[in-house]
Amino acid sequence: MKISGIEVNRISDQIWEIPKFGGMLVPGRIYTSQKMLETTLQNDEAIKQVVNVAHLPGIQKYSLAMPDIHWGYGFPIGGVAATDLDEGVISPGGVGYDINCGVRLARTSLTQNDVQKRIKKLVENLFKDIPTGVGASGAIRKLSSKEIRSILVNGSQWAVAQGFGTDDDITKTEEKGKMENADPSLLSDRAIERGQDQAGTLGSGNHFLEIDVVDEIFDEQKAEVLGLFKNQIVIMIHTGSRGLGYQVCDDYLKVLVKAGERFGFNLPDKQLACAPINSSEGHNYLSAMRCAANFAWNNRQVIMHLAKKSLQKTLNISESELKFELIYDVCHNIAKIETHNIDGEMKRVCVHRKGATRAFPPGHKDIPEVYQSTGQPVLIPGDMGRYSFVSAGTEKSMSETFGSSCHGAGRVQSRHKALKAGKGKDLIGEMNKRGIEIQAKGYKTIAEEMPNAYKDVSEVVDVMHLAGISTKVAKIKPVGVIKG
């Protein structure tokens, strides 16, 4: 069949392949259902972006897209690509502007019955205690240039050393909250300045903090290891590297556009600006990107600590009564040097995940000891009006998707269209009818993020579950939301 004018062949019920044509170096592969392929992707430029990514020098096996695919900058959001370390490139478009935008999930000992009458107050206090929105600042204090540089090197380990969490939080964070070989000297003064007052703040748009309830358990054994039970209250945090990460991307896109010209790359889209991984430009971008990733992990660590304190204060309970503990923290926008099986050979490659979650299998050396039997937790937020999912990585992800799975629902309406559709509606009232308390900076954010602006995340998660890439563990639904 043809989608957006491009030939797409069915490999299985969940896998569709774009054969190589033109300058493509590898085929494209999309994980999706036929229904989503024929509806939400029919006129989406993201399909063309899968083709464009397949032109990158040194790309391995496939240009991949997860079922939450939608149009993005250069790469589609939901795009995954691995490039050879010797002959391949690094592309900021394969990471995105919000470097290490990610999700962390914390559990409590509380049930919905314990807090139901206090949800409104909990949301009010969380909104008061955690700065949100464009330019949000002042969660802790304005940090010195020296402190920011320490965060850029040490990530969330800085926050824990300052009393914002525990060593257990570090263990249960991807990369232990710190990417090595991060060099703050490679960041512009403007990037540093933008981060000085934003540690512990939620961004705008689709970023959020939710009070969720565990609604359904699919795998009792894995859920028990993760500490999840039905009707339990959990906290989900979704945010990234704020203005600092945006500035890093913006600064280095200009550098890599010139590098592409110098190396003579002839790519179908200027937004795929890239440089050889082993070039000075490629090395510098990777180091700067790692700094921004570390800033994001630190950011989510501080927010989690502020949320814990807010819950304790509102409910007037002790730490031992609340039992607020991190389950896991994953990043969605990142490039990492990893070892993967490429045509029977174990090879070091640079894996770009842009709107995709790492999904390593049971027994993998890079996941916490406590999750060696379950596989890495894969945290998949949906829209603020329906539900989110907790899944777990599988061995099949390593052979098919470079250890990657989906990251969310994926937009079906632009923010402009969603805002127009919400005009004149009582959006807060609609959320309240769904049993959800919400506080946000304004009407615009709520309208842009309403459920009908997104795919149904259950359809997205089911594709990966049925394909055997990540298996469902639990479904959680929101009862309280704060947004920028």
- List helix spans (H) across 54-162: 112-115, 119-129, 145-154, 156-161
Q: What are the CA-CA distances from residue 322 to residues 61, 64, 327, 328 (Å)?
A: 47, 41, 15, 18
How far, in Å, CA of 267 to CA of 53, rounded?
A: 9
Query: What is the residue-wise DSSP string for 304-356?
Result: HHHHHHHHHHHHT--HHHH--EEEEEEESEEEEEEEEEETTEEEEEEEEEES-
Q: Confirm whether 407 is a catalytic residue.
A: yes
Tokens found for residue 360: 């390593």
CA-CA-CA-CA dihedral for 277, 281, 286, 287, to nearest 10: 130
Q: Which of 340, 364, 407, 465 is catalytic?
A: 407
Three-state DSSP class for residue 15: strand
Distance in angstroms (rounded) separating the CA atoms of residues 32 and 36: 6
C-beta separation of 95 from 64 below 8 A? no
SS3 state at 376: coil
- Collapse the DSSP code of 122 into the 3-class scheme (helix H, G, I; strand E, B; otherwise coil) and give the result: helix
CB 293 within 8 A of CB 329: no
SS3 430: helix
- Amino acid identity for residue 445 in this structure: T
Catalytic center residues? 407
